[in-house]
Amino acid sequence: MEEHKIRYLQHFLRRTLVSMEDFLIFIKNNEEKLRNSYSETIKLSSNDFVEMILLDAVFLLEVLSRRTKPRLRTTDDRIFSKPNIILDVESDIWSIENQLPLFILENLFKLAKTSMAGKHYEGLSLINLTSRFFMPAGVKFKLGSTEHLLDIRFSKLGTLEIPMLKIGSVSGYLLFGNLLVFERLHCTTNYINDYIKIISCLVNAPKDAQLLIQNGVIKNRTWEGEGMSTLLNNLSKNARVQFFNSNYSDLVEELDNYCKSPWNKWKANLKQNYFNTPWASISVIAAAILLMLTFVQAVCSIISAL
């Protein structure tokens, strides 16, 4: 991987006005804090330690950036040119021994962003880079056909059907809050509690709420994505977490199993990395046809030789 890391570092430096020396000095100034972030003593000289952090941090930032923005990939990019390699890299990133302190990643990324030679990272942050990388969002959302608000269903084809949630004003928000309190004090069931919790889990950010609004699942005239996201998360603060005993425990298990499926991971990776633009799709299809024709030609040659 050292070869890939060095290549990624070179491309990273070309897109920023910050020199490698400035990055090294920045890491050097944070060396003590970095070393204290690890439970074991790292037996490397100061220079070797600083260089290792820069190489690994930039490599991780490049992987995250290239997943989100395919146009950053280059012709010599061997990691994203083969689906299996990026999946191996993803597994390595999850490993504890390969993880880096978050503060150094955030600061290096901010430093690079503020001195860009072009608008390569515009609108991006480390948080949304990592969320897009580790959450390939392989489930489709669909407006449920039933009017029963709590009837959320998941099909084996990967579609989550959610009945329409209408919150048209502040009174709608207050109604759910009052129902939640009433249920806790006077009911033996947890229908409202579990519903609010499952919906809030689907809406972690404004873009999540906006996606549900676009799909007709959430209908309101007051809030956009950010307001709706805040509203649902405020409601969920008063709800109890009890997924294993909730009315949606089977639904959560089905979603979890679907997202863990290697086949579904492969499909999501293929869609994000190889069919994310029309030209990329045409290239993949052309390569597949060429491979098939080559195979047919080889078979014909063998048959004619016999």
Please write the tens of the pLDDT for every residue from 217-258: 888 766 677 778 888 888 888 787 665 556 788 888 888 777
Domain boundaries, the chain: 2-134, 140-252, 267-294
Query: What mean pLDDT comes out for the span 298-304?
Result: 73
The token pair that represents 154 in the structure block: 């998941």
Q: Say yes or no to pLDDT of 30 above 80.
A: yes
Residue keyed to tokens 């699942």 = 217
Average pLDDT of the residues of the chain: 80
Could you give the residue ranges of the DSSP H alpha helices within the chain? 2-14, 20-29, 31-36, 46-68, 83-94, 102-114, 126-134, 170-186, 191-202, 206-214, 225-236, 249-260, 262-274, 278-305
Distance CA 278, CA 274 (A): 10
For 159, other C-beta atoms within 10 Å of its C-beta total: 12
Whether residue 8 contacts residue 55, with contact meaning beta carbons closer than 8 Å, is answered with no
% of the chain at pLDDT higher than 90: 15
Residue 97, C-beta contacts closer than 8 angstroms, at least 6 positions apart: none
Q: Rounded to an integer, what is the distance from CA 306 to the centroid of its chain? A: 53
Query: To the nearest 10°, the Cα dihedral for 30, 31, 37, 39?
Result: -170
pLDDT digits 0-9 by tens, 128-152:
787 767 655 767 888 888 888 889 9
Query: What mean pLDDT comes out for the span 109-134?
Result: 74
The token pair that represents 227 in the structure block: 């307001």
pTM for this prediction: 0.48
How much is the pLDDT for 28?
95
